[in-house]
Amino acid sequence: MKERILQTLRALNAYAVEKGYEVVIFFHEEDSYLMRFANSAVSLNTNEHLIRLEATAYEGRKRATYEMITDLNQIEAMKQGIDFAAEMVHHAMPLSYDPTIPTLKADFIDENGYDAELAKLSNEERLAYFNQVSRNLETEDLKLGGIFSNGTNILAQINTKSEYAQYFKTSDSQVTAVLSHQKLKWEVIAEQSAQKKTDLDPEKLNRDLTFLIEHYQNDAPQQLPLASYDIVFGHAATAEMVRFMNWIGFNGGLMKRGYSFLTEEEIGQKILSEKITLKDDPTILETFPQKQDFMGIDRNPYPLFMDGVFQGFIWNQDDADEFGAEPTGHTVMHNSLVLEGGEQEIDSLQDLVKQPREKDILYIPYLHYMNIVNPSQGLITGSSRFGSLLLKADGSVVVPYNVRLTQSLLEIFGEKVAWLSNKTIPYNVSNSYGARNPIALIVPKFIRVNDLEISHANDSY
């Protein structure tokens, strides 16, 4: 398949060269499988095999893009697509800067992130996995939901500056299992991100759900008083907050446009807790990385915060062109963010609950529907969901109704950080709005942040 894709791209590129076009041709192929569960049944079982071809034509400072869904048999239609982009670009308006077209110096082929076993899981295997996850857990009131998503993603690129091409092939899987109470309306969750088949561990999800259900079924829920709490965030909540930092934090282009809580003057300054070290690390396969960006820049670990000190912004090529910065190898589908673990010896929620504590701890595994209230201040808001617990100082455990947190990321990852767990975990944040684009972050399993105020406490689920 690889050879056929590359041959097709080379033929299209040769066609564009012959026509005198300046074009970047981008290829995306996905083979996606999704089994969705709700109310303890398979509510949807689907698969899509889609090939997208995108041609971006350049003419001096002008550029225009044409995208089509196609298949490899339709070479004439693809050529027409390239013609169309070349025609469009005549009528575009020049940019105020010179856009850079990548000059690839050699072929770059990366299939290390592909595991055929994971990509080719059968319907029967997906169903068996979920049956194992939910073993002995479903009841009349307690229903299973979730997804088993897996697939193959191929990205390839060629352009008229050379005959060289890039080709990336990955496999990925995202599993979410939720048990929800029909009448009481609470939900608990267990999730897994997989890059290869051996990453899949349904027994772990079964154990996690069993533990949470014990508390949720037996303990009466409470509305928490509005106050400050020492909060332990689970990995899903942490990953979501780091993802927002990726958006309104260290992105150079967005900073220049006023959508960041960081400034250029802050480079080299201590902005976050010294316990926070955050990198973009494409060497870690579990993040579904791109080891070379679309400009042909090799990607290596890139520090963002070292012991709380801000190391600098990341720049994709277009922003770098516009704002006169150096591109940093971040013209990619997504970054490979890794928040390093700390020193707290803790591996599981069971460990956390068992640990002695001097004060009450609010455990928030997941933050639902997070949004930015004020980007300049890093102010975000979101609600807890999926199995929060109030771990009382006396060792008992209370089940709280959901709460809302409206806080600055500077505060959350600032001096109030008490500890990070030594163990980290890949957390899959893919949402596949349009084309499949698997994304995972590596984050500590738990982070404790003291003295954070909650802004709203529900009186029901």
Partner 1 sequence: MIEKIQQEITRLKGLGATYVDTRWYPLEEQNYLLMWNGNLKTTASSRESGVGIRVLYKGAWGFSASSDLSNLSALYEKAFDNARIAAERVTFPVRLAEKDEIQAQFESPCQINPFDISLADKVEFLRTMDEKLNQEGVEQRISNLNFMRKKIVFLDSEGSQIEKLITEVFSSLQVTGRDADGDSHERKFNLGRQGESRGWESIDMNIFSENAERIVKELNQVLVADNCPKDDRSVILLPGIMYLQTHETIGHALELDRILGYELAYAGGSFVTLDDFGKLRYGSEKLTARADATLPNSPGSFGYDDDGIPAKDIILIDKGILVGAITGRQMVEEANARARKRIFQESGGANRATTFYRVPIERMTNINIDPGDDGTLDDIVADTEKGIILDGDRSWSIGSNREQFHFGEEIGWLVENGEITDVVKNPTHKGNTVKFWNSLSAVGNESTWQVKYVDNCGKGQPNQIMQLGHGVPACRFDNVRIGE
Contact positions with partner 1 (CB under 8 A) in 382-411: 382-383, 385, 402, 404, 406
Query: Which residue, 3, 11, 26, is CA-closest to 333?
Result: 26
Pick out residues in 308-347 that bind partner 1 (CB under 8 A): 318, 322
Return d(Cα 434, Cα 70) in angstroms, integer. Answer: 15
Matching residue, tokens 């640990």? 355
Q: Whole-number minimum distance, CB 423 to partner 1, in Å? A: 25
Alpha-helix runs per DSSP H in 19-139? 75-91, 116-119, 123-133
Query: Which residue, 404, 388, 385, 307, is CA-closest to 352?
Result: 388
Helix/strand/coil for 21: coil
Q: Whole-number minimum distance, CB 102 to partner 1, in Å? A: 18
Q: Whole-number minimum distance, CB 27 to partner 1, in Å? A: 14
Verify binding: residue 245, partner 1, rule CB under 8 A. Answer: no
The total number of residues shown for the chain amounts to 461
Q: Residues 288, 290, 296, CA angle at the centre, nearest 5°?
A: 175
Q: Whole-number minimum distance, CB 211 to partner 1, in Å? A: 19
Q: State the amino acid at position 333 in one-letter form.
A: M
**Residue number, 292 or 388, with CB nearest to partner 1:** 388
Pick the piece of the chain touching partner 1 (CB under 8 A) from 1-9, 39-47, 195-203, 409-417: 39-47
- Cβ-count burial 317-334 (b if 16+ within 10 Å, e if not): bbbbbbeebebbbbbbbb
Terminus-to-terminus CA distance in the chain, angstroms? Answer: 50
**Residue number, 39 or 103, with CB nearest to partner 1:** 39
Verify binding: residue 173, partner 1, rule CB under 8 A. Answer: no
Judged by CB under 8 A, which of 162, 355, 450, 458 binds partner 1?
A: 458
**Residue number, 217 or 381, with CB nearest to partner 1:** 381
- Pull the structure tokens for residue 384: 């807890």
DSSP-derived pairing of the beta strands 424-428 and 456-457: unpaired
Q: Whole-number minimum distance, CB 283 to partner 1, in Å? A: 29
Q: For the window 184-223, what string marks contact with partner 1 as x by the rule CB under 8 A?
A: -x-x-x----------------------------------
Residue 55's contacts (CB-CB under 8 Å, 6 or more residues apart) are 16, 23, 24, 25, 26, 65, 66, 67, 81, 82, 84, 85, 86
Structural element, H or E, at residue 304? strand 302-306
Verify binding: residue 95, partner 1, rule CB under 8 A. Answer: yes
Q: Whole-number minimum distance, CB 61 to partner 1, in Å? A: 9
Beta-bridged to residue 222, according to DSSP, are: 400
Judged by CB under 8 A, which of 371, 392, 393, 396 binds partner 1?
A: 371
Pick the piece of the chain touching partner 1 (CB under 8 A) from 21-29, 176-184, 236-244, 327-335: 176-184
Pick out residues in 61-90 that bind partner 1 (CB under 8 A): 62-71, 73, 81, 84, 88-89
Judged by CB under 8 A, which of 18, 76, 220, 258 binds partner 1?
A: 258
